[in-house]
Amino acid sequence: MDAMKQQQSPTPTVDTIEELNREDNDFEIPPTDRSLLVALSEPRESRKTMSSSNNLQKIEFVRIAEEMFSERTNKIESNLSSLSQFFDRYEVDFALVLVRCPHFAIILSHIFILRFGWRVENVSWKTDMKDWHSEECRRVGRAFATFLRVAEQGEASVDAWSKNYPQLTILFDDVPGFR
């Protein structure tokens, strides 16, 4: 048993990889991979806390979303008013979202109106979410109702919505717990 442990090579750390890079110039690990190696070379307990902090963020987003949805109405103006209060109250939680999409409250206010969506309107793929006006936000928000009605599962409707409006992928990729 001890002989097997001695035969196994230790997990490479950043220091050992840098030594290998100095010895063999033909192969070098790109800097982006080094951050992954640093994270993987850390003790397993610290990696668990990183993933548990993401889980806590997701749980917090779910709690906030349920609280938001409980105050929704079928009027855009009242939804927009209550959402702006939520964004002020949870400014830290929504900072990443609002930096990437300043008019996200308009999108949500249209999502909160329960509709039987028939069609999905286009938004130019060339425009950034920061440049969207109320019309683009209305189209994106209303389209979610159509995807929700057509898809069999909620996750599939979110995927279809993000694929139809590729600008949204920034939110799904960069904001922990957004999905």
Query: Which range of residues forms the domain containing residue 153?
Result: 74-174
Tokens of 5: 């442990």
Whether the Cβ atoms of residue 140 and residue 107 lie closer than 8 Å to each other? yes
Distance CA 82, CA 145 (A): 20
Q: Identify whether 112 is part of a domain.
A: yes
Inside any domain, residue 83: yes
Residue 53: the pLDDT is 67
- pLDDT for 170: 92
Q: Using one digit for the tens of pLDDT, what is the confidence trace for 140-173?
A: 999 998 998 888 888 999 999 999 999 999 999 9
Report which of 85, 92, 103 is spatially closest to residue 60, judged by C-alpha positions: 92
Looking at residue 142, its pLDDT comes to 94
- The residues of the chain scoring below 50 in pLDDT are 1-14, 16-17, 20-50
| Total domain count, the chain | 1
Residue 93 lies in a domain: yes
Is residue 96 a part of any domain in this protein? yes
Q: Is 177 left (phi over 0), alpha (psi -120 to 50) or beta?
A: left
Q: What is the number of other CB atoms lying within 10 angstroms of the CB of residue 98?
A: 13
The answer to whether residue 145 sits within a structural domain is yes
**8 A C-beta contact, residue 147 and residue 161:** yes
Looking at the domain assignment, is residue 53 inside a domain? no
Q: pLDDT exceeding 70 applies to what percent of the chain?
A: 70
Residue 176 to residues 48, 83, 96, 124, 155, Cα–Cα distance (Å): 16, 20, 9, 26, 16
pLDDT of 179 reads: 78
With beta carbons less than 8 A apart as the criterion, state whether 14 and 34 touch: yes
Q: What pLDDT is recorded for position 65?
A: 87
Contact 36, 42 (CB under 8 A): no
Q: Give the C-alpha separation, 53 to 45, whole Å.
A: 12
The answer to whether position 100 is within a domain reads yes
For tokens 């109702």, what's the residue? Answer: 145
Hey, how many other C-beta atoms are within 10 angstroms of the C-beta on 2? 6
In angstroms, rounded to a whole number, what is the distance separating the alpha carbons of residues 26 and 20? 10
Question: Is 88 part of a structural domain of the chain?
Answer: yes
Residue 56 pLDDT: 76
